[in-house]
Structure 1
Amino acid sequence: MIRNIVFDMAWVLFRYEPMSFTREHVPDDADAELIHRELFCAPEWLETDRGTLSDEEYFALVSGRIPTRLHQTARYLYEHWHDALVPIDEMEAVAGQLKANGYSIYLLSNMSGRFYRFYRNIPAMKHFDGMIVSADERCVKPEPEIYQALFRKYGLLPAECFFIDDRPENVEAGEKLGMRGFCFQQDIPALCAALREAGVWV
């Protein structure tokens, strides 16, 4: 029986649109594309999610690939990147309905320590019973250790968890550990149908 619903954050609770955010502050297309690529798509970004690279260390690395004239703008964008998160209101409603129906709600997210600067401003968080942030665990999805950290911290049984993520490899990793999984592609009716198929009242 499913008792716990586990949500990813980006592209599940939020749309993550760093290119649109960058263009709002950088009118030149070439500059915007360069900053977006080097700031938000750098391979080192994953290490901030893993908690092995600090904000300052990350910016020092990537700023070396960005022209000096753009450093001030790039720093602003990096420090305010959470403004690129656009809430999916319908998903907040789903989380609220699940909570009202008696399910425990958890967050399992690849996210750096910057998460703690803004998470209290996320409307959906009022429904959540707990969260695992990758930077705290020094591991990231789809590595099994981060799922096990969730089970261990909150005393959850994998078979009692329904996991919602937008990346197939993350869903597959959860399923290998015994969770019920759903790969969310912005189709809320399909999600609700999958929840009901799993016996979840929503």
Structure 2
Amino acid sequence: MTPELVVFDIGMVLLNWDPDGFYDRAIGPEARQRLFAEVPLSEANESIDNGAPWHETIEALAADHPEWSHEILAWRDHWHLMATPLIPDSVHLLRELRGRGIACWALTNFGRETFDLAQELYPPLAEFDGTIVSGRLKLMKPDPAIYEALEEASGVSGDRILFTDDRAENIAAAADRGWRTHLFTHSAGFAARLQAEGLLPADALRP
């Protein structure tokens, strides 16, 4: 049976996410390593993905670490330089699928405000038939409840869904619900999986 619904993760599947690279360019690798060792930026970003307000969370963190305030506030002011660029071959696959009438949804750990901004900056992220965003629901992968939310919203469940994500724990949680899964490493690998599932022809990925 061919899947009825293809579900994409966003970060590192359709959109590059590289805060380390941003800070390496801005302050150098050694300072970046000290920053991340001394300031819980990754934890703050996770709280944003789980529904905390973006600007307020970063500003509070900067107030708690005044020696790094300029660098911390870059997460507010220059976030768009961390979440870039789109992964063009993955966008091509999304559009090929939708052009063939195959429903495509997004299931992503992303903040409410940051996802709204990402959709403004990158119109392909607004082309899905539906989106489940962790920050809106205050649920994050791999919590089973966020997968259930997608099933309820889409009306599709089990092996009628093919899901791709770059994190093994998120893939495992989907597999536990009976979804077909593909651990994303590059667009060509996902294209091959889509072809194997009968969703796209062999020449779907552009040269």
Normalising by the smaller structure, the TM-score range is: 0.7 to 0.9
How far did 1:73 drift? 3.6
Report how far residue 61 of structure 1 moved: 5.1
TM-score by length of 1: 0.86
Point out the more displaced range, 149-158 or 102-111: 149-158
What is the deviation of 1:165?
Answer: 0.2
Could you tell me how far apart the structure 2 residues matched to 1:103 and 1:168 are?
Answer: 25
Deviations 1:101-149 (A, max 9, x none): 1111111000111211231221422531110100111110011100111
TM-score normalised by length of structure 2: 0.84
Percent identical: 25
Alignment of 1:17 onto 2:18: yes
CA distance in 2, matches of 1:147, 1:84: 27
Counterparts of 2:176 and 2:190, CA distance in 1: 20
* Structure 2 gap segments, 5+ residues each: 202-207
Q: Once the two structures are superposed, what CA deviation does each residue of 1:137-162 show, in whole Å capped at 9, x if it has no partner? A: 11100111001111112222332211
Amino acid at match of 2:89: E
- Aligned partner of 1:172 in structure 2 is 172
CA 1:38 to 1:197, structure 2 compared with 1: closer, same or farther past 3 Å? farther
Paired residues of 2:14 and 2:90 also in contact (CA < 8 A): yes
Judged with a 3 Å threshold, the aligned counterparts in structure 2 of structure 1 residues 8 and 39 are, in CA distance, closer, same or farther, namely farther
Of 53, 76, 79, which residue of structure 2 is paired with 1:78? 76
Q: CA deviation digits over 1:20-79, x for unaligned, max 9?
A: 2123332x543333334556753343222111x3335532553366443x3134213333
Flag the 1:194–1:39 CA change in 2: closer, same or farther, 3 A. farther
Task: Give me the CA root mean square deviation.
Answer: 2.2
1:65-104, aligned counterparts within 5 Å?
66-68=65-67, 70-85=68-83, 86-104=85-103
Unaligned 5+ residue runs, structure 1?
none
